[in-house]
Amino acid sequence: VPINDSRGSGAGFEVPLTLARDEEVGLGLDFAEGKSLRVCHIFTKGAIHGYNAGSSPDRKVQIGDFIVSIRRDRRVMTNAKNLLQALQSGGDMQLSIRRPFEFTVARLDKKGGPLGLDMSYHPRGTCASVRQILPEGAVTVYNTTASIDKDIKVGDYIVSVNGNAGSAKDMVRICGEVLTSGVW
């Protein structure tokens, strides 16, 4: 799932939001490699639920979207830690949302060898980030025959493996990869 890439739409939009000091934003968020926040749940209570109720379908925040920046008081926050702090502190802000381009990789055959990915994930995360594509492995072979819009690239997010979604740790275990970059 790439978010800032030439593949697919990667469409984005802005969400104006005003949060009272103790008001909940109403999102379950994943730290998505520390660069952005990935929406993994939308609660029925909270500011985003209210925003979505009054928005056109193409402007509703959806599960899988990424919060890539927040503008507040002429400051722009762009890393996951600062984004989360901004959401928790309330006030007037503008969220920059990016839709992912999702695609399925079918029949990725390891043939008893390595997958060829260096991945990282947050311990409670719902996606794993591709940090490096190793020269040896099934992914390198796959990329030689895949169409340009469906090749696996550094920066892509893995959100499901063999139909299993929800736990990045479990997805990486299913892939059978040794993490060379570790868990962040």
Closest CA to 150 of 10, 5, 7, 11: 7
At residue 21, the pLDDT reads: 76
CB–CB of 103/150 below 8 Å? yes
180: pLDDT strictly greater than 90: no
DSSP code for 8? S
Strand residue runs (E) in the chain: 12-19, 27-30, 37-42, 66-72, 75-77, 91-98, 117-120, 128-133, 157-158
SS3 135: coil
At residue 60, the pLDDT reads: 96
| Structure confidence at residue 104 as a pLDDT band (50, 70, 90) | confident
Cα radius of gyration rounded to whole Å, the chain? 17
167: pLDDT strictly greater than 50: yes
At residue 177, the pLDDT reads: 52
The arithmetic mean of pLDDT across residues 145-164, rounded, is 86
The arithmetic mean of pLDDT across residues 14-21, rounded, is 91
The arithmetic mean of pLDDT across residues 78-101, rounded, is 91
* Euclidean distance between CA atoms 175 and 83, whole angstroms: 30
The residue ranking higher by pLDDT, 99 or 32, is 99
What token pair was written down for 76? 């722009």
SS3 164: strand
* Euclidean distance between CA atoms 33 and 130, whole angstroms: 9
Please write the tens of the pLDDT for every residue from 22-73. 889 999 988 766 778 989 889 999 999 999 999 999 999 999 899 999 999 8
- The model's pTM is 0.77
Query: Which amino acid, residue 40?
Result: C
The residue ranking higher by pLDDT, 165 or 9, is 165
The arithmetic mean of pLDDT across residues 75-82, rounded, is 91
